Amino acid sequence: MFKLFALVLAVATAGCGSNQVKIEIKGGDGQLVRLDANDVQYKFNHLVKTGTYILPEPDSKIELGGGSYSVNVAAGDYLGNEVLQVESPPLWGVRTYEAIFDIPASSNAPFKREGTILYASTKKNVRNWDLFTIRADGSDRQQLTHTPEPEQHPSWSPDGKKILFTRGDVMSNIDLYVMDADSSNVVRLTEHPERDQRGVFSPDGETIAFVSQRDGDVAVWLMDADGANPRKLVQGSQPSFSPDGRRIAFTSSAFDDNDEIYLIDLDGSNRTRLTENRRKIDWFASFSPKGDRLVYNSEEFGGQELMLMRADGQGQTRISIAEKTYEQEPVWSPDGKGLA
């Protein structure tokens, strides 16, 4: 079963009386969820069953002060968010604020480990990378490439018939190639003295977004699926198409001193900033299959952890705990209920 993850964010400050937040998480059939509250002084992070919880914990000796408090719950393909306007603590007694989340039954369906995973791998102490496929259940591992040059950053075409990838290394050159899913009919798409890498197909398969330094800046470029008509979109990297093909999520430090996540239309208009974490990096955003959420990496909590947010940047929710380790480049399962 795919474990549900629920994250609840709250902030605690000192007050005269006391405030508390009552969080009720309905649904889930008693499955484990992750309940997470973070503050400079107070951290709560445990796997618990769906139900009702009071924060701060009575024995935490932390009081909830005034301000806006964002409460987020992520469970399966559900992401809920409430913002509570908490007043300063009362002179006496306890004031209770409530946040209620009702997880739809469809969000609790088990994650089906079906389909084929495409990845790049190398042996220890060997610089060469090759492409492989493997079933989601770990069976039927197949090696697709056997060249002396490294092949990396593979991605499927929308119909699953083509594989887009890079070939080359930093000592020579890196370009984009495409081949059939069985590794036949390899075609070179770019041939430029600067690196062209991290290519992804648009949902209709007609356009490829990729990262290039061909004009001096690290930037997201677009080209036709056959490699024709390359054009610069925006300074940045790590492009991800929205499912409707109208927008691209990307990471950039060109508009701020820090790497943040943005959205932009394919004609270069309507650039929108989604994250604002000036001292830490947010990157590797990926749209969910429905297009309503993005998963991404963040260094906000010390490591490189996974975060979820809605497509408008709201409801930013921590879904992994890796304060001293690294979890990078998340991708969605086809049904949007799982991550790899």
Domain boundaries along the sequence of the chain: 18-108, 116-318
Token pair 């798409």 is at which residue? 189
Secondary-structure percent of the chain, ordered helix, strand, coil, rounded to 5? 5, 45, 50
Q: Is 222 exposed, middle or buried (0-12, 13-18, 19+ CB in 10 A)?
A: buried
* The pLDDT value given to residue 138: 80
Find residue 208's DSSP bridge partners: 201, 223
Nearest C-alpha neighbor of 144 from the set 191, 178, 190, 195: 178
Gap between the Cα atoms of 19 and 66, Å rounded: 9
Gap between the Cα atoms of 64 and 47, Å rounded: 23
Is 116-318 in the same CATH topology as 18-108? no
Gap between the Cα atoms of 117 and 140, Å rounded: 11
The yes or no reply on domain 18-108 and CATH 2.60.40 is yes
- Ranges of the chain whose pLDDT falls below 70: 1-16, 28-48, 75-77, 105-114, 123-127, 170-172, 301-303, 321-328, 340
Nearest C-alpha neighbor of 15 from the set 56, 62, 53: 62
* Residue 255 contacts residue 248 (beta carbons within 8 Å): no
Q: Which two tokens stand for residue 237?
A: 């990297």
* The pLDDT value given to residue 321: 66
* The pLDDT value given to residue 227: 97
How many Å separate Cα 280 from the centre of its chain?
Answer: 16
* The pLDDT value given to residue 318: 79
pTM for the model stands at 0.74
* The pLDDT value given to residue 245: 96
Percent of the chain topping pLDDT 70: 79
Question: If one looks up domain 116-318 in CATH, what number appears?
Answer: 2.120.10.30
> What is the β-pairing status of strands 207-212 and 219-224?
antiparallel
